[in-house]
Structure 1
C-alpha cells in the first residue's frame, strides 16, 4: 500500500493543502524544507487516521485543528472532525485502510539506557500501546523490541530444532549484517536477564561485550531504527512507514548508508515517508535511490495560508541546489558537479553570475534531470575552448577528487569549412579521450529535428507543416540550418514575430529521455 494523494483542510496550520504524488507513487517520499514548514504535520495526519483502528491516545482537538485559532470569527470553529480534515487516497486504488496502514516513528526518541530485568508474555504488535501517538510524543519502543527479540530467541530454542548458538547466530546475525554496513559495530550478545544484564552488548574494534549504554547517541539511533524495522516489517507488510528526522545525532555518511539500508528492509509494496534536513539522506535520494524517490519541497512558498497543491519536484540540478540551500544556507557550493562539460558559446556570465552561453543553457535544460551532477559551461570559441579546458583540467582536477572535465564541440569546428562525419572521427581519434563532437552539424540540427517540432506543436496547439519542412530540410545531420529560425517557426504555424533564441530554448524544453533526439545527444556526450 502507498499513499497517492492527501488533502488537509484546516488541519494543524494548513488552510487547505493537497499533496499529489501522481497515479503511480514511488516507494520513497522525501519531504524537505526548513523548520516549521509543516513536514511533521503530515505525519500527524497519518497518525490521526490510525485512530479509526486504534481509538486511544493522542492530543486534544485544538492540537490538530487550525479552525480553533482563526482571527476571522466567520471562519472560526469550536469542533473538529478528523474525517473531514484529513482525506487520503491510496495506491493501488482498491487498497483499504487497516490497523497496519501506517507505522510512524517520531523525531522525539532517545533510549539512553536499557535495563530489562523481567520478561513476560508480550501483547501482539498491533495491540501494544508503547508507540508514540503524535509527532511531539517520545518514542521509547526499544525496550519492547529488545523483549520481543529475546522472546523470539527463547521460543526458537524451546522448539528444539536448533541449538542456543544457532538461534543466537540467526537472530543477531541478520541484524549485524545491516549494522556493519552502516557503522563499525555489531551486537555480540543479547545479555542475560537472570544475571541482571538485560540489554544489548556490542563489539567494536578491539573491545567486546560492552553495553548498549556505552554507545554514542548516533550509534544508538541506528540500532534503534534498524532493530525496530526488522522486528516490525513482517507484521507491517502492507504499510506506509514514516520516519520524522531520522538523521538526529548522525553524520552525513552514516545518514546516507542508513537510508539505503532502510529501503532494503521495507517490502516493495510498502512506502517510506521521510521528513528530513539531512544532507546524507538527500544525497542518497539524489544518487543510489533516485529511481525510487519523489521529493516534496516545502520550502518553495508559504503553504499554510490559502489553497495549495504540492507535487514532486523535477530532480534537476537547480532544484537540488535550492533543497541543499535549505540545509546548508550559503554552503551550496558543496553540491559540486561530478562532470563539467565545456562547450562553445559566450564565456562571460550575466551580471548575476548566471550562464549566458546558448549551447550550455540548452544542454543544461535537456540533461539536468537525468544527470543532476553534470554542468555545461560556455567557454568561448573553438580555440578558446581548448585552451580554457586544459587550464581547468590542470587546476580543478587537483582540487576536486573524481571530477571529470569534457570538451564538447559543434561539428562545425573548422572555421566554416565543411567537416564530414569522417573528419569528426579523425578528430576524435587524434585528441584526448575527454573530447566530444556533435554527430550533427551543430545544436540547431537537434532542436530543429522533426520529432522535436512535432512535439512542440502538439503541446502548444499549433499545426506543423510537415510537407514544407520535408521540402526544405533534406539532411538534418549535415544541413546548415542555424540561421533558418524564421522559416522553422513558419512551419510550426507561428505567425507573430518571435525571439529566435527564446524560441530555440522553448524547443529544448520538450526534449525528453524517451525521444530519439535525446538519445543521439546523450550518445555524443556521455
Structure 2
C-alpha cells in the first residue's frame, strides 16, 4: 500500500492542507523543513487512522484539533471529528485500511539499557500494546523486539532440525549482514536469560561480548531500527512505514548508509515516510535513492494558514540548495557541485554572482532537475574557454578531488567556418577527454527544433505553422538559425513583443527528459 493523497482540515496546526503525491507515488516520501513546520503532524494523522484498528491509547481531542485554538472566537469549536479532519487516499483505490496499514516510529526512541529476566509467550505484532499512542510518546519497542528475537531462535531450534549453534549463527548473521554496511560493530551473542544475561552482546575491533548498554547512542539507534524492521516487515507487508527523525544521534555518513539499508528492508509494494533534517539522508535521496523518492519541502512557505496544496519538490539545484540550507544554515555556501561544465558565453557574472551567459542559463534550465549535481558556467568565447577551463582544472582539482570539469563547445567553434560531423569526430579524438562538442551548429538549433516549438505552442495556446517551418528550416542540424528569431516567432504565431533571450529561455523550459532533443543533448554532454 502507498499513500497518494492526504487532506487535513483543522488538524493540529493546519487549517486546510492537501498533500498530493500524484497517481504513482514513490516508495520513499521525505518530509523536510525546519522545526515546527508540521512534519510530525502528518504522522499523527496516520496514527489517528491506525487507532481505528488498535485497542489502546488515545490523546485528548485538543491534541489533534486546531478548532479549539483559533484566535477568532467565532471559529472555535469544541467538537473534533477525525473522519472529517483526516482523509487519506491510497494506491489500492478502495482506501480500505487494516491493522497493518501503518507502522510508526516516533522521534522519542531511546532504550539506554535492558536486562530481560524471563521470557513469556508474546501476542502477535498486531496485538501488542507497546506501540506509542502519538508522536510525542516514548517508543520503547526494543525490549519486546529482543524477546521476539529469542522467540524466533527457540522456535527454529525446537520445531526444526537445526542445532542451536546453526540457529544462532543464521539469526545473528541476518542482522550482522545489514549492520556491517552501516557500523563497525556486529552482534556476537544473543545473551542468556538463565545466566542473567538478558540483552544483546556485540563485537567491535578486538573487543567481544560487550553488552548493548555499552554501545554509543548512535549505535543503539541503528540496532533498534534495523532489528525492529527485520522482525516486523514479514507481517507488515502491505504497509506505510513512518519514522520520525531516524537520524537521531547519528553522524552524516551513518545516516546515509542507514536510509539505504532501511529501503532494502521494506518491501517494494510498501512505502516509507521519513521526517528529517539530516544531511546524510538528503544526500542518499539525491543520489542512490533518487528514482525511488519524492520530497515534500515544508520550508518553502507557511502551510498552516489557509488552504494549501503541497506536491513533491522538483529536484533542481536551486531547490536542493534551499532544503540543504535548512540543515546546514550558513554552511550551505560550501555545497559544491560534483561536476562543472564550462561553456561559451558572457564570462562576467551579474550582481550577486548571477550567471549572465546565455548558453549556461539554457543548459542549467534543461538539466538542473535530472543532473542536480551539475553546474554549467559561461567562460567567454572559444579561446577563453580553453584557457580558463585549463586553469580551473589545475586549481580546483587540487581542492575538490572528486570534482569533474568538462568543456562544452558549439559546433561553430571555427569562427563560422564549416565544421562538419567528420571534423567534430576528429576534434573529440584529438583533444582531452573532458572536451565536449554539440552535434548541431549551436544551441539555437536545439531550441528552434520542431519538437520544442510544437510543445511550446501547445502550452501557450498558440498555433504552430508546420508548413512555414518546414519551408524555412531545411536542415535544423546545420542551418544558421540564430538570426532567424523573428521568423521563428511568426511561425509560432507570436504577435506581441517578447525579449529575444526571454523567448529562448522559455523554449528551454519546455525541454524535458522524454524528448528527442533532450536525449541528443544528454548524449553530447554527459
Alignment partners' CA distance in 1, 2:493 and 2:381: 34
Partners of 2:193 and 2:55 lie apart in 1 by 34
Deviation string 1:195-232 (CA, Å, 9 cap, x unpaired) is 11000000011100000000000000000000000000
Cα distance in structure 2, aligned partners of 1:493 and 1:121: 77
Secondary structure, counterpart of 1:524 in structure 2: helix
Per the alignment, residue 119 of structure 2 pairs with 119
Question: Displacement, 1:498?
Answer: 1.1
Query: How far does the alpha carbon of each residue in 1:57-82 deviate from its partner, in whole angstroms, 9 at most, with x for none?
Result: 13100010110000112210011111
> Per-residue displacement from partner, 1:289-322 (whole Å, max 9, x unpaired)?
0000000000000111100000001111111111
3-state secondary structure, aligned to 1:329: helix
Q: What are the equivalent positions in structure 2 for 1:294-333 lying under 5 Å apart?
A: 294-333=294-333
Which 10-residue stretch deviates more, 193-202 or 152-161?
Answer: 152-161
Unaligned runs of 5+ in 2: none
Q: CA deviation at 1:350?
A: 1.1
For 1:152 and 1:402, how far apart are their aligned partners in 2? 46
In 2, distance between residues paired with 1:150 and 1:425?
66
Aligned to 2:47: 47
Counting matched residue pairs gives 526
Aligned-pair Cα RMSD in Å: 0.8
Q: What's the CA shift string for 1:16-37, capped at 9, x where partnerless?
A: 0000000010100000000000
In the alignment, what sits opposite 1:471?
A: 471
Long gaps (5+) in structure 1: none
The answer as to whether partners of 2:192 and 2:198 remain within 8 angstroms in 1 is yes
Quick one: distance in 1 between partners of 2:95 and 2:266? 18
**Stretch of structure 1 that moved more, 113-122 or 48-57:** 48-57
Whole-Å Cα distance in 1 between the matches of residues 130 and 376 of structure 2? 53
Determine the structure 1 residue equivalent to 2:253.
Answer: 253
C-alpha deviation, 1:464, in angstroms: 0.3
Quick one: distance in 2 between partners of 1:160 and 1:291?
A: 41
Give 1:5's aligned residue. Answer: 5
Report the Cα offset of residue 114 of structure 1: 1.2
For residues 163 and 74 of structure 1, what CA distance do their matches in structure 2 show? 71
1:283 Cα deviation after fit: 0.3
Residue 253 of structure 1 deviates from its aligned partner by: 0.6
Who is 1:381 aligned against?
Answer: 381
1:145 and 2:136 are equivalent in the alignment: no
Deviation (angstroms), 1:418: 2.2
SS at match of 1:203: strand
Superposed, 1:22-421 pairs within 5 Å as 22-421=22-421
Work out the CA distance in 1 between the residues paired with 2:322 and 2:383. 35
**TM-score normalized by the length of structure 2:** 0.99
Q: Aligned partners of 1:429, 1:87: CA distance in 2, in Å?
A: 60
Look up the SS of the partner of 2:17 in the other structure: strand
Structure 2 CA distance, aligned partners of 1:2 and 1:335? 33
Distance in 1 (alpha carbons) for counterparts of 2:419 and 2:128: 75
Structure 1 match to 2:524? 524
Task: Measure the CA separation in 1 of the matches of 2:156 and 2:339.
Answer: 53
How far apart, CA to CA, are the structure 2 residues paired with 1:416 and 1:268?
Answer: 54
CA distance in 2, matches of 1:151, 1:426: 69
Instruction: Detail structure 1 runs of 4+ shifted over 6 Å in the superposition.
Output: none
Q: Secondary structure at the match of 2:30?
A: strand
Structure 2 residue 438 is matched with structure 1 residue 438? yes
Give yes or no for the alignment of 1:514 onto 2:514.
Answer: yes
State how far apart, in whole Å, the 1-side matches of 2:333 and 2:205 are. Answer: 36
* Cα distance in 2 for residues equivalent to 1:414 and 1:160: 77
Partner SS, residue 222 of structure 1: helix
Task: Please state how far the C-alpha of 1:95 moved relative to its aligned partner.
Answer: 4.7
Q: What is the deviation of 1:369?
A: 1.0
Counterpart contact for 2:103–2:240, Cα < 8 Å? yes
CA distance in 1, matches of 2:359, 2:18: 38
